[in-house]
Chains A and B, each alone.
Chain A
Amino acid sequence: MLLFAPIDVLNDLLLRTGLSSDTIKFFVWPLIQIGLVVTLVALWVAYATYLERKISAFMQARLGPMRVGPWGLLQPIADGLKLLTKEDFIPDKADRWIFFFAPYIAVASAFIVFSVIPFGPDWAVIADVNIGLLLVLAVSSIGVLALILAGWSSNSKYALLGGLRSSAQMVSYEVAMGLSLIGALMFARTLSLSGIVAAQGADSIWYIVYQPAGFLLFLISGIAENNRAPFDLPEAESELVAGFHTEYSGMRWSLFFMAEYAAMVVVAAVATTVYLGGWYFPFVNRLQLSGHHNLYVLVSLLVFLVKASIILYVYFWLRWTLPRFRYDQLMDIGWKWLIPSALINIVLSGFAIFVVQALNGWRGIETIERLDRGLNLSATGKGIMIAIGLIGLFITAALLSRINWRSRDFNLKVQRRNIRLVNVPKGKPAVQAGS
C-alpha cells in the first residue's frame, strides 16, 4: 500500500548508507520507534489534559476550554508555552541539585515503561522482553523516589509532609497492583506483555471475563498509585496546598504534571494489555491473513488506543464524581482490602485452573504443557472459568463488606439516615400584624 511505502523506502535508504543490516535492525529502527513512541505518548499526555478539562466541563454542565483554537484544541500547546516562559524559581534554602533532578526522574520513570508496552503486533512494540510486566512494575516504582526527593529538597513543611504521604500511599498500593496481576498471569503463563496479548488472542477471550475481580483490584490500585481521585488527598488543594510539588513552578512543575498523566496512561495501557486484550480484536486478524500486514498493525494500534482511552475516561469519570478518601481510610483500603482480596484472587485462579483441568480430564494438563500460550479451553472450560471469575468478584465484595463492618470508620450500617421533620407550634409574632 502506498501509505506504507515510506517504511520500505527508508529501509532501502538505510541499507544503502552502508550500515550492516544488523545495525539497522537493532539500532536505527528502534531509535525511530522510540522517537515515534515518545512523540505519541507526549501528545497523548498533552491531549489527555485537554480531554480531562473538556470531559469534566461537560459533566459539570459547562464548556471547558474554547478560546484557544477551534473548540480549544490548541489549549495544551498554550499551556506548555505559558509554563515554558515562567520564571525558573528555586527556593532559597532548597537543595539545588536534588530539586533540579527530581522532576526528570519522575518523567523518565514514566516514559521508560513505554518501551515494553505492545501498541500493536510487529513493529509497534519497541522491545518485547520476556519479563515485560516485571519491568513495568519495577520502573514505575522509581517514580516514588522522585516524589520523596521533591518533597525533601523543597525545604518546606507542607511539601515534605505531602511528599511523605504520597510516597507512603504509592508504596502501599504497588503491592496490591502487583498481586492483582498474578491471576491473569496464571492464565497467560508469561510475563512478556506481547505474550499476554497473544495468549488472549489464542484463547480468543479477554481476561477481564475470567478475572473481573482482578481487573477491578488492578484498576483501583492503579488509580491510588497515580494519586488520582478518590485517592488524591495528599495533593488536594484543601489540604496541604499542593503536596510535594508546592514549591515547583513553570517547566519543572509541568514535568511532574506530565509524569502524573504519563503514569495514568501506563496503568491504562497495562490494564488494556492484560485484561482487555491489548491490540487484539476478533476480526482484525483477517487483515493479516489477507496480506495487508502494515494496515493490520495500524488498525491494531488504533484498537489499542481506543481501549486505553476508555480506561482513561474511567479515570476522569471517577475523579469528577466521587469525593476523596481521608488518608487513614485510604491506607485502610490498600492494606486491609486490596491485598487480601488480591491474595484470595490468586488462590481462586489456581483453583479455577485445577477445576478446569479436572473436569476435562488429564488430557487438559498435557494440552497446557504442549501449548505455547494461553489455556486453550473448550466451551465448558470457558464457562467454568467465567463462573469462578464471578465468584471471585462476589468474594471480593463480601470481603469489603466484612472489613467495613469491622472498621470504625466504615461502620455505617445504613446508607442514609432520615431526619425528623417537626412542626413546632408557632410562638407570638414579634409584632402583631396590622397593629
Chain B
Amino acid sequence: MSLVKTPKSTFAQKLKRFFMIDLIKGMGLTLKFNLGALTDKDAVAGKGIYTEQYPKVRPDVAPRFHGAPRLNMDPETHDTLCIACNLCAIACPEDCIDVIPMDVEIVVAGKPRRKKVLDEFIFDTSRCMFCALCQEACPTSCLELTQDFELATYSRAGFVWNREMLEQGRETVKYTS
C-alpha cells in the first residue's frame, strides 16, 4: 500500500470520524430504504419497490422494439405485401433470410405477363441479431420486427421460421401466474 497524499483534516472531520458518522449515515440510508419499500409507492424517484413481477405483469414494450419478425399482409385483401425484391436478404449482415420467389401468370392490359411473387420465406431467428436492417430495407413495410420477445423453443429446428409462422405468428404459451 503506497502512501498517497491526503490533505489534513479539519477538526469537524476528525470528530465525524471519531463518532463513526460515516458508517451511521450509510446505515441510516439503508434503513430508510427498508421502511420506504413498505410505505413509498414511487419507485422511480423515491424509495419504493422497483420490481416488475413478470410473468404476472407483462412489461410495457416500446413500439420500436426489435422483436420477433413478422410478414405483414394487406388488411383488406389478406394478400402478402411482400414483393419478393430480396432487399431484406441483401441487407441482412448475418445471412439469415432466404426469399424464394416464383413466377405467376397475370394479365396486364390484355397481355399475359409474368410477375414475380413470394413463394417461401425462410427466416432463421437463431442467427438473427435483431439489428432491424431488414425492416429498414423493406420497401413495402412488409417485414416488421414486432414487440414479441419470448422466442424460446424446444428444438433447434423451431428457430427457423417459414412463411406461415411469419405471417400468422407462433402459438406460444403466455404464462400469467
Contacts and interface: CB of A to CB of B under 8 A. Distances in A.
Given A397-B20, A415-B17, A61 B9 contact: no
Interface in B1-60: 1, 3, 6-9, 13-14, 16-20, 22-23, 26-27, 29-31, 33-34, 36-38, 43, 47-51, 53
A424 to B, nearest CB: 22
Contacts of A62: 49-51
Contacts of A322: 23, 26-27
B26 A321 contact: yes
Contact of B7 (A57, A61, A414): A414
Given A55-B34, A413-B8, A417-B7, A318 B22 contact: no
A266 B9 CA distance: 41
Contacts of B43: 61
A58 B17 contact: no
Contacts of B53: 63, 66
A412 B6 contact: yes
Given A58-B38, A413-B6, A63 B51 contact: yes
A9 to B, nearest CB: 43
Interface string A400-414: 010000001101111
A88 to B, nearest CB: 31
B165 to A, nearest CB: 32
B30 A61 contact: no
Interface in A405-435: 408-409, 411-415, 417
A397 B18 contact: yes
A318 B27 CA distance: 7
Interface in A58-81: 58-63, 66
Contacts, number: 69
Nearest to B32: A59
A60 B17 contact: no
A61 B18 contact: no
A417 B33 contact: no
A58 B26 contact: no
A104 B23 CA distance: 37
B51 A59 contact: no
B30 to A, nearest CB: 4
A317 B30 CA distance: 8
A417 B23 contact: no
A63 B49 contact: yes
A320 B33 CA distance: 12
A55 B30 CA distance: 10
A414 B6 CA distance: 7
A59 B1 contact: no
Interface residues of B, number: 32
Given A66-B53, A413-B8, A60 B19 contact: no
Contacts of B19: 397
A63 to B, nearest CB: 4
A321 B19 CA distance: 18
Contact of B48 (A61, A408, A409): A61
A151 to B, nearest CB: 28
Contact of B37 (A61, A317, A408): A61
Interface string A33-74: 000000000000000000000010111111100100000000
Contacts of B14: 401
Contacts of A411: 3
A57 B37 CA distance: 9
Contacts of B37: 57-59, 61
Contacts of B29: 321
Nearest to B26: A321
A415 B49 contact: no
Contact of A415 (B13, B38, B50, B51): B13
B2 to A, nearest CB: 10
24 contacts: A57-B37, A58-B37, A61-B43, A61-B48, A61-B51, A62-B50, A317-B31, A317-B34, A397-B18, A397-B19, A397-B20, A401-B14, A401-B17, A401-B18, A408-B1, A408-B3, A412-B6, A413-B8, A414-B6, A414-B8, A414-B13, A415-B13, A417-B6, A417-B7
Given A321-B26, A417-B7, 16 more contacts: A58-B37, A58-B49, A59-B30, A60-B33, A61-B37, A61-B48, A61-B50, A61-B51, A317-B30, A397-B18, A408-B1, A413-B7, A413-B8, A413-B9, A414-B7, A414-B13
Interface of A: 55, 57-63, 66, 317-318, 320-322, 397-398, 401, 408-409, 411-415, 417
